[in-house]
A and B are shown apart, each in its own frame.
Chain A
Amino acid sequence: MELHILEHSLKVASIAKEGIQFFTHGLIKLAFLPSKTRTLSCSCWCKFFTLTETPEDYTIIVDEEGFKELPVSEFLSVAEATWLALNVVSGGGSSSSSQPIGVTKIAKSVIAPLADHNISVFMLSTYQTDFILVRERDLPLVMHTLSSEFTLLRVVNGEAVAANSLGVTNGFVKPKLVQRPVIHPLSSPSNMFCVTSLDPDTLPSVTTILMDVMFYSSGVKESAAPSDDLEYIRFFSFSLIEGYVSLVMDEETQKRFPLNMLFTSASGELWKMVRIGGQPLGFDECGIVAQISESLAAADIPAYYISTFKFDHALVPEENIQSVIGALRTNKGGGQ
């Protein structure tokens, strides 16, 4: 297995809902015209951009080139650290048991060891792959932790080159392997989601729909969605990472797109969400992803996991939602 350390230096930011109008210009550029973010002084442009809308805020993950597009404003809060994205690439071609996809696949090999070493991670699943974001300052430790499992490769200028582990530990020579109880409260909204993508060439033809979905959700909600349903959650995620588009939207939103435009899997699967956290989770606590993903991995349930500024979100197949909730609830409280 290979672990690629990508070259993007990422910022995680949150835009308050009421301030979104100040940012639309920059966000549209980042989402639809990334090559226009190129500046005169710098030949590179934004290659990593995600926008996730939750009921609380908009979470933006963007590389340094793209971050310049966002105006300084009271509505913008930025997590203090610079983050690096890790990406697991199955080096060998054979591990063909493709069923437990997504976070569960890497739960054991990446997320649990990082949690054991008290390294805080930020997860971002897309249609194409899973990114594990770690703080740049934690990188030596990350490399040390993962060097036994993975071939570490650092992406430099688009080319993967071998990265040497620096042999740094944080003092926990032998991390304690404890049962990780699920600490935070969970909720499961009623609406179902699909994770999809589209041909970047066809992006222009759905731009207006996407802009509508991204920035005018409140209006839509009032008119069309069953607002009376308290279990309903407003959640939409758009990402454009190295040319690949990934979208997470609920069933209702999906219907607004023209037929055949979105990539849907042959099985047309739908996903239900498990939302983690009652209070904003912050960035320092570690082990949250591990708590969830290890349980899912144990039950062999595929999942997507999307962290946002305030809360974490796991997507699991609709038919598994009850067993997932059950499993997580059992796990809650640790030793029970």
Chain B
Amino acid sequence: MSGSKPDILWSPHHVDRYVICDSELSLYRIESVGNSEAKAGALRLSEETTATLLAINSDTPYMKCVAWYPKHEPECLLAVGQANGRIVLTSLGQSHNSKCKDLMGKEFVPKHARQCNTLAWNPVDSNWLAAGLDKHRADFSVLIWDISSKFTPDASVTTDKIRLSAGDTDAGLVVTKPLYELGQNDACLSLCWLPRDQKLLLAGMHRNLAIFDLRNTSQKMFVNTKAIQGVTVDPHFHDRVASFFEGQVAIWDLRKFEKPVLTLTEQPKPLTKVAWCPTRTGLLATLTRDSNIIRLYDMQHTPTPIGDETEPTIIERNVQPCENHIASFAWHPSSQNRMVVVTPNRSMTDFTVFERISLAWSSTGSLMWACGRHLYECTEERNASSVEKDISTKMRQRAQSRYGHDTEQVWRNYLLAGGDDPQLKSLWYTLYFMKRYTEDLEQKPLVNKLPLVYSGIKNIVKSSSGTVESWCCWNGSDRQADVIRYHSDERCLALQLCGWIKRGPEIDVEPFLQSLEAEREWERAAAVALFNLDIRRSIQILNKGASAEKGDLNLNVVAMALSGYTDEKNSLWREMCSSLRLQLNNPHLCVMFAFLTSEPGSYDGVLYESSMAVRDRVAFACMFLSDSQLPRYIEKLASEMKEAGNLEGILLTGLTKDGVDLMESYVDRTGDVQTASFCMLKGSPGEVVKDSRVQCWIENYRNLLDAWRFWHKRAEFDIHRSKLDPSSKPLAQVFVSCNFCGKSISYSCSAMPHQGRGFSQYGVSGSPTKSKVTSCPGCRKPLPRCALCLMNMGTPVSSCPGAGKSDEKVDLSKDKKLAQLNNWFTWCHNCRHGGHTGHMLSWFRDHTECPVSACTCKCMQLDTTGNLVPLDTV
């Protein structure tokens, strides 16, 4: 101060008042813009606020420090410490009421003049004012004055020696006898009263921090340090104190006063002010000389269960309230994170430190964030269907309905998935047909065609040989149809995979037609019947469709048109059909006429009708395309499918590398790792599963399940996976070994039967073997005791692997009864104490600390997920 740098003080009780002090004291009132628009002389502090100068006090020269009276009344009483050590009480903008009046102008004079460095009002006994002075060889540097005391000439000081100006003394305004004198032959640079007790004063002395206890002034607690400037108590944590020296801030814990609990990173320039935020815990603002930046330290104690030794997390931030250098700042006493800064030329800025935002996005799609004291939850404004349509929601629902787990009726998985996705339908039917075919092969020991099925129609037709061409007749008539049909074993297999025909050598689509009729897919059934050259059956199906409940009467019209079929090349029928068919909405009806009107050998109208199911098109191609045309068509279609990531293409690619490529573009398109994982696990040759992409999908799906807390589902999936892919079975991760012999308890179980037999030979009953459950099978020494029931641990289930010898079978069945998880070993990885799982679980239901006496390990809290409940309780 002293004319150079202004400081700023906020009124302790009036949230809209503050004082700027440099060579004089100026009282300002802060208002929002709306209230003071018209007022002249209002200074703009920010977009929303202005300040109005209320009063100026320039009565007190040589100001060194100022402190605001902490109580409500008198309202605006300030203590000013001067360069010569005198402390003057003064006021600002007050109508001089009686209570205040006799305090105004009162002076407190130390015995020896020297600079007054700091002032602090006692927050409880507000008559007490502590002053910190510079060093004098024979005087005290901490003086505590009672502002209510009257001038009483000390008898020991001869009155004639006191050379005070006459005016002061007779007004009774000068006090020379402090209440307490502390810190002889020392200097005091900063002071603050400790909230722990009204008689504790913390002082930054010349080379130490000292706590003076006024109840016993002969004692002081002190610690030698350089960081003695600007001592200030955290208003939220009364044992935490900050002080500084040059560029470094030290944080002290008064309970452990020997050394700073932490020192903050040193700043290049010396600090001028350090202040705790009164409205938020653990936020410390620091200001250095000649800087326009306020550096904030956010100290957050995250509760960690591993001891209390952990240092707090500190987040450093810089804020720049204005362009110019900052002389000083003051936190607003109640408005959150708000401060006013003042520059050397007294321009002021009202500034609010923006709170850091922390964001959390749950695995189920809800979004929350916290800012300051507010917690926001994001709710979807759009209609809920978009969330439901999202693949994550779908996968969650499908996981709950055990999608993918039906390994018998594989096609049913499509229903489990909701039954509304044609691609999934095609996929699961394909997998179902593949599985059915391999089962057929297994029944009759046959040539190694197993991998061929899973390698897709594309590879099947490539290997096609011995194709028989035949001119076919329309079913039920001798009329020669104008088409060539092709037959081979491979084509037959392909048709089976397409689902058109059942297993067996004969090509009979009737069961398929009936199933389609049952599903009311009249048009498709009619088309399939027609492609099998049974025009009558086709018409019959259409009629059935028209007459069925809610049937489309137009089907009759189609049937009528169909019945007029003629193979006359230039007939009117042909002409009309080939042009009008394009107006038919149903692709199946459309391709029926395309087939009838096409030239033999060129069925593009059917083959490239993209709205028709791939399996039908492929089946059609297998019947009517020649050996040269067919692979080309399949190849083309397969790459199209791959490109589009269309799961129907799995029929063509099979579960090969091609299939993985296709699935990759499907996952890229949809994100459906669930379907990808389940589908690829079905590929019985392990090759595709080893593909890194497949492993990636599987891991991602498992992570998803974990994130949803579907732990049981994840475990189920792992079991399912290990069945289909034995290599994924995890190795044993934990071994329980004996304290004495060091052998694994489960491992040495295999040696057990030998001993058991030995005993039975001597006619000893089964009891020794039984008791062995609680002793090491290797050395027969007892296993550790449960910390709770103090019984030796041991569970018969540990003998499970590798102990399945015939003579132990009886025991094993008994064991299985006993082998509950409750009896299992469990222990804390931190303190190594443990016991029976059941006992431990019930203990930690009510306790946080380890049950072993004198162990303070908070075992249960170590496992942060341990307290969570799985969301998919089976």
Chain A interfacial positions (CB closer than 8 Å to B) = 4, 88-96, 98, 101-102, 105, 125-130, 153, 155, 157-161, 196-197, 199, 201-202, 244, 260, 262-269, 302
Q: Which residues of B contact A126 (CB under 8 A)?
A: 137
B162 within 8 A of A: yes
Interface pairs (9), CB distance under 8 Å:
A93-B182, A93-B183, A94-B218, A127-B137, A159-B224, A161-B224, A197-B113, A244-B135, A263-B114
Distance, CA A228 to CA B109, complexed state (A): 40
Q: Which residues of A contact B212 (CB under 8 A)?
A: 93
Taking CB as reference atom, which chain A residue is nearest B64?
Answer: A199
Distance, CA A90 to CA B187, complexed state (A): 12
> Digit string of B82-113 for contact with A (CB within 8 Å is 1, else 0)?
01110000000000000000000000011111
Q: Which residues of B contact A95 (CB under 8 A)?
A: 184
B602 within 8 A of A: no
> Digit string of B175-193 for contact with A (CB within 8 Å is 1, else 0)?
0100001111111000000
Taking CB atoms and an 8 Å cut-off, the chain B residues in 101-150 that contact chain A are 109-115, 134-140
B161 touches A269 (CB 8 A): yes
Number of residue pairs spanning A and B whose beta carbons lie under 8 angstroms apart: 110
Taking CB as reference atom, which chain A residue is nearest B3?
Answer: A201
> Digit string of B218-230 for contact with A (CB within 8 Å is 1, else 0)?
1110101110000
Q: Which residues of B contact A93 (CB under 8 A)?
A: 182-184, 212, 217-220
Q: Which residues of B contact A264 (CB under 8 A)?
A: 113
Q: Which residues of B contact A202 (CB under 8 A)?
A: 83
Distance, CA A263 to CA B85, complexed state (A): 9
Q: Which residues of B contact A157 (CB under 8 A)?
A: 226
Taking CB as reference atom, which chain B residue is nearest A96?
Answer: B181
B488 within 8 A of A: no
B163 within 8 A of A: yes
B2 within 8 A of A: yes
B211 to chain A, nearest CB (A): 11
Distance, CA A177 to CA B84, complexed state (A): 44
**Count the B residues whose beta carbon is within 8 Å of the partner chain — how many?**
45
B157 touches A159 (CB 8 A): no
B208 within 8 A of A: yes
Q: Which residues of B contact A199 (CB under 8 A)?
A: 2, 62, 83-84, 115
B136 touches A89 (CB 8 A): no
B207 within 8 A of A: yes
Distance, CA A194 to CA B520, complexed state (A): 120
Q: Which residues of A contact B134 (CB under 8 A)?
A: 128, 244
A98 touches B137 (CB 8 A): no
Taking CB atoms and an 8 Å cut-off, the chain B residues in 482-529 that contact chain A are none
B164 within 8 A of A: yes
A263 touches B84 (CB 8 A): yes
Taking CB as reference atom, which chain B residue is nearest A92?
Answer: B218
A130 touches B137 (CB 8 A): yes
Q: Which residues of B contact A201 (CB under 8 A)?
A: 2, 83
The 4 closest A-B pairs by CB, nearest first: A101-B138, A263-B113, A94-B218, A128-B135
Known: A129-B137, A199-B83, A202-B83. A267 touches B224 (CB 8 A): no
A101 touches B218 (CB 8 A): no
B348 to chain A, nearest CB (A): 24
A266 touches B207 (CB 8 A): no
B113 touches A265 (CB 8 A): yes
B713 to chain A, nearest CB (A): 62
> Digit string of B579-616 for contact with A (CB within 8 Å is 1, else 0)?
00000000000000000000000000000000000000
Sample of 14 more A-B contacts, CB < 8 Å, known A92-B219, A105-B138? A88-B185, A90-B184, A94-B218, A98-B140, A127-B114, A155-B207, A199-B115, A201-B2, A201-B83, A266-B109, A267-B111, A267-B157, A267-B161, A268-B161
A160 touches B84 (CB 8 A): no
B280 to chain A, nearest CB (A): 32
Which of A89, A130, A260, A262 makes the CB contact (< 8 A) with B186?
A89
B219 touches A98 (CB 8 A): no
Distance, CA A128 to CA B140, complexed state (A): 11
> Digit string of B244-258 for contact with A (CB within 8 Å is 1, else 0)?
010000000000000
Q: Which residues of B contact A155 (CB under 8 A)?
A: 207
A153 touches B224 (CB 8 A): yes
Q: Which residues of A contact B109 (CB under 8 A)?
A: 266
A318 to chain B, nearest CB (A): 11
Q: Which residues of A contact B62 (CB under 8 A)?
A: 199, 260
Taking CB atoms and an 8 Å cut-off, the chain B residues in 159-218 that contact chain A are 161-164, 176, 181-187, 206-208, 212, 217-218
Taking CB as reference atom, which chain A residue is nearest B245?
Answer: A158
Which of A102, A153, A244, A268 makes the CB contact (< 8 A) with B138?
A102
Distance, CA A90 to CA B115, complexed state (A): 20
Distance, CA A157 to CA B2, complexed state (A): 30
Q: Which residues of B contact A262 (CB under 8 A)?
A: 113
A102 touches B137 (CB 8 A): yes
A266 touches B84 (CB 8 A): no
B181 touches A90 (CB 8 A): no
Q: Which residues of B contact A102 (CB under 8 A)?
A: 137-138
A4 touches B83 (CB 8 A): no
A94 touches B185 (CB 8 A): no
Q: Which residues of A contact B181 (CB under 8 A)?
A: 96, 98
Which of A129, A244, A269 makes the CB contact (< 8 A) with B185?
A129
A96 to chain B, nearest CB (A): 6
B138 touches A302 (CB 8 A): yes
B602 to chain A, nearest CB (A): 95
Q: Which residues of B contact A197 (CB under 8 A)?
A: 113-114
Distance, CA A262 to CA B114, complexed state (A): 9
A266 touches B112 (CB 8 A): yes
Distance, CA A327 to CA B255, complexed state (A): 53
A266 touches B138 (CB 8 A): no
Q: Looking at B109, B111, B134, which has the most chain A CB atoms within 10 Å of its CB?
A: B134
Distance, CA A94 to CA B136, complexed state (A): 16
A76 to chain B, nearest CB (A): 30
Distance, CA A88 to CA B184, complexed state (A): 11
Q: Which residues of A contact B83 (CB under 8 A)?
A: 199, 201-202
Taking CB as reference atom, which chain B residue is nearest A161?
Answer: B224
A192 to chain B, nearest CB (A): 14
Q: Looking at A89, A95, A160, A196, which has the most chain B CB atoms within 10 Å of its CB?
A: A89
Distance, CA A244 to CA B115, complexed state (A): 10
Distance, CA A200 to CA B183, complexed state (A): 22
Distance, CA A78 to CA B62, complexed state (A): 41
Q: Which residues of B contact A267 (CB under 8 A)?
A: 111, 157, 161-163
Q: Which residues of A contact B136 (CB under 8 A)?
A: 127-128
Q: Looking at B136, B187, B208, which has the most chain A CB atoms within 10 Å of its CB?
A: B136
B174 to chain A, nearest CB (A): 9
Known: A125-B137, A159-B226, A244-B135. A265 touches B112 (CB 8 A): yes
B6 to chain A, nearest CB (A): 15
Distance, CA A191 to CA B417, complexed state (A): 111
Distance, CA A244 to CA B84, complexed state (A): 14
Distance, CA A131 to CA B438, complexed state (A): 103
